[in-house]
Structure 1
Amino acid sequence: MGPLRRFTRNLVLPANLAGRPLLLKYTRHPGEAREEIRGHHSVRDHYRVPTLHAHLRVPGGRLLAYERLPIGRDHGLLLDLLNTDRPTPDLKRYLHDLTDHYRTVILDTARLTPPAQLVRKLYWDRAAPGGRLDHYYADADPFLTDGRAHLPLSRIRDHTLRINGTESHLDWAATLTRLKRHFGTGEPVWAALTQGDPTDLNLAHPPAWLDLDTAGPNSIAGEFANFLWYTTVLGGWLVPTHNPGAFTDHPATFAHLAANTPVVHRTRIDTTRRTLTVDYVPRLSQPRRTAAEIYWRRLVEPVAAALWPDTDLADILRPYIAMRILAVHHLGDLTPRERLVLVCRLADVMSPRFAPQSFFLTPEATCPVR
């Protein structure tokens, strides 16, 4: 048996049985195990997924025995193709293969689907009463600071935001209400069979899909928002910063952390003029930028042209990206600079001028000269 690993609330143990390499996954939550078994069954005919050899009850939970793919130290995942100084031909070939496969499956299985029939874990359940939005923010009022003044998010609507020279506004309470209302309707959405949580840790190289508890009929817009936000923000910056244990077998991630960590050059809260001025550079390594560009060009654009030909893609993606910003990490648990950057990104998303392509793909620009 290999070393025991912990990913989120699950324990993972590599093992060999009669010469067969296995990955044993233990979860204390029977409901999550059932979701994963169901998810595996729903997508196994559409995607390359590890064979699920067995699942059984064990003391305190359930154990799932998977085929173990050849994933090792700094190899075997999309993450490892991103942990380079420059985009490699392997990364580009991988993204072409990945997006070709996604485009085929998504367009073949796309259906207008009521939310009650979707995998709801990452969006609808988190926005529902008592869900993660309520759990994080119902009794909390995170604040922004410039080191001198504090600005609670409940009062940010009374301030003009000047972010990298562009003026905008953000109403914190109205944003939370808007998201809850959006995901509280029963209006059908375009959905397709996907893995549901397409992160660089959940996508193997050669292409295979791992971690299937959200697999099944998923919102297509949610799928896009998840991959793009994780690739451009979470995977290279916040997740390794706050959950370094998940990268024990992929330590090259930390060598590239600085290349994906935003730099805040200036923050000023003027309580008299009611302004918040922020100059910052998002920063994104070139391999991650390349991955997002290929994904956008070869998957998002053609699928959007087929399913939403007469609709502004900003309106389609906005609520999903906002949920990724607010309902993965609790803003109050982040450092002041991390919180500031995410609030700036949230203000961009909620702005009427929101342009998702430039939001994810615009080259880094220097902050305005002051």
Structure 2
Amino acid sequence: MSSMKKLIHSCHYAGSQFCNWVRPRAARLLRLCRDSISWLSRFLLFHVHPFWIQLGYYLAVSLAGYLVLKATARDGSELRHRDLDLFFTSVSATTASSMSTVEMEELSRAQLLVMIVLMLLSGEVFTSLLELQLLRLKLLKQSRLDEQADRRSGFVDCIELGIPSSAQKVDSNQHNEAKAVSVRNPNMSNKLKYDAATCLSQVVLGYILVFHVLGSGLITLYVYLDRDAKQVLERKGLRGDLFSLFTMVSTFASCGFVPLNEGMVAFRKSPGLLLILIPQVLAGNTLYAPCLHAALWALEKASAKRKELGDALRNGRDVGYFHLVGSVRCRYICLTALLFVTVQLVLFCGLEWRSGIMSGLTPYQKLVCSLFQVVNSRYAGESAFDLSMVSPAVLVLFLVMM
């Protein structure tokens, strides 16, 4: 019994000694990792051109996507041995080029989830959010440097003027007035830009979440209620929620992938689904700037106490976020997009209304499918018709609009 106690005591002593030996070394390792990450972030922000950052981002995401796609392939699937095809698909999803050398129905559910992540990371709105985060870090660093420079210059001025140290402290009212007057001072601009960038990043994140959650919910609800759409998914063995999320992310990111080999041709007789997707195409692409401007304007009116919303709305381009434009330019963007879509819709319907690609559709279905087609020809690349049956004149029209 005494030998057992000695053994337990020796084990406890050895364990405590080991913990005492590991704890400081682990702390030093964590501190080294933190300092290395901080140094790397400063190096990337201030010494590396944004082009190389973006190139490294897309290469890293594409390579990681390829490895995960290969690891999540079905057992016995030929995709495990088609490395080039998987890498091509990963790059295509990451760059939103909507090209693939594999049939989408060959992908497993896990691979479809990987594709969702890749398309989400490649969307123009999401990448602009990442740019905002990098911009915030840079502005935060610059604003801190400005504050340090202001403190040093103020201290030097006090010494040169012979002001005693007790007089260096001003009351809060005078300090606030000085800050208000110095808004036009370049040393204060970085702080204002940082606040505007922080507000913008929150609004853009909310923009992404609202469209994806609302869009996926509407698609799921429509698929549940519409018999034709439900039958298509049941025939393909595809879950409605997975289809909704995949299609929503792909459409918003203008990627053009659909988890069906036929694409959206299988839903030609489901005009409600096409009408749900059309605003998502526009909101994630050309009309993103007007929609963001409208969202900021509405939030500013709804919450008057948050002055940073107004600052972000008026100073967004000064911050460096070029997706945020003025109200006049937003109107021009909306009018231009409406004009192009209208002209293309009229020409497409005039040339293809009685053609074979429209056979079996009601006039309402023809109109909705045509609208979906012309909108996607300029943006996402999804198709409600078999383009191999489209007349050469329409193909030339699509080419010009693209």
Which one has the bigger helix percentage? 2
Which one has the bigger strand percentage? 1
Fold shared by both chains (TM-score > 0.5): no
Instruction: Please report the TM-score for the alignment, with normalisation by the length of structure 2.
Output: 0.23
Using CA pairs below 8 Å that are at least 6 residues apart, which structure has the higher relative contact order?
Answer: 1
Instruction: Please report the TM-score for the alignment, with normalisation by the length of structure 1.
Output: 0.24
